[in-house]
Amino acid sequence: MSKIVATNKRAYHDYHILETLEAGLALKGSEVKSIREGKISLQDAYCYFQNGELYLLQCHIAPYSHQGYEDHDPLRSRKLLLHQDELRKLWKKKQESRYTLIPLKVYWSKNRLKVEIALAKGKKSYDKRQDMAEKESKRMMERIMKQKR
């Protein structure tokens, strides 16, 4: 049973999603409390490798409303928790094919915060237009089928 906290709605519009993977997230206490309040945004977030580890960058977690003496930086880079072999496979795929790693959603799984990351390839503007046209044609077909019933 998982509860979705945040989704990256633009990801499916801007990228071709090739592969997804679940990762843990290393957070401070005030960040966890803020996420429980639903104050997280994946709008411009992406993942990058640094010293053999994977980090989440530009993920905005607002400061906790009932903060004490310690506060966190809303845009700090956060470490993603993956097994070493998973990290090596992602690094290899990212390097050889020039893909991007983006977060798709953040959710609770068994009282732990998880991030679904995707290996993605950017769409060109004509790809986006083509996808929008396909969606529109599917909607029209559904409307026609519904009217015939």
Q: Is residue 30 in some structural domain?
A: yes
pLDDT at 117: 92
Number of domains in the chain: 1
Closest CA to 33 of 2, 5, 56, 9: 5
Q: Is residue 92 in some structural domain?
A: yes
pLDDT at 104: 92
Q: Which residue has the tokens 């709008």?
A: 43
Closest CA to 64 of 43, 42, 38: 38
Q: Is residue 108 in some structural domain?
A: yes
Q: Which residues of the chain have pLDDT under 70?
A: 1, 68-70
pLDDT at 125: 80
Q: Is residue 51 in some structural domain?
A: yes
CATH code of the domain containing 37: 2.40.280.10
What end-to-end distance do the CA atoms of the chain give, in Å? 37
pTM: 0.77
Q: Is residue 128 in some structural domain?
A: no
Q: Is residue 136 in some structural domain?
A: no
Q: Is residue 16 in some structural domain?
A: yes
pLDDT at 115: 93
Range of the domain at 15: 2-123
Q: Is residue 139 in some structural domain?
A: no
- In degrees to the nearest 10, what's the CA dihedral of 32, 38, 43, 47? 20
pLDDT at 127: 77
Distance CA 40, CA 58 (A): 11
**Helical (H) or strand (E) element with 55:** strand 53-57
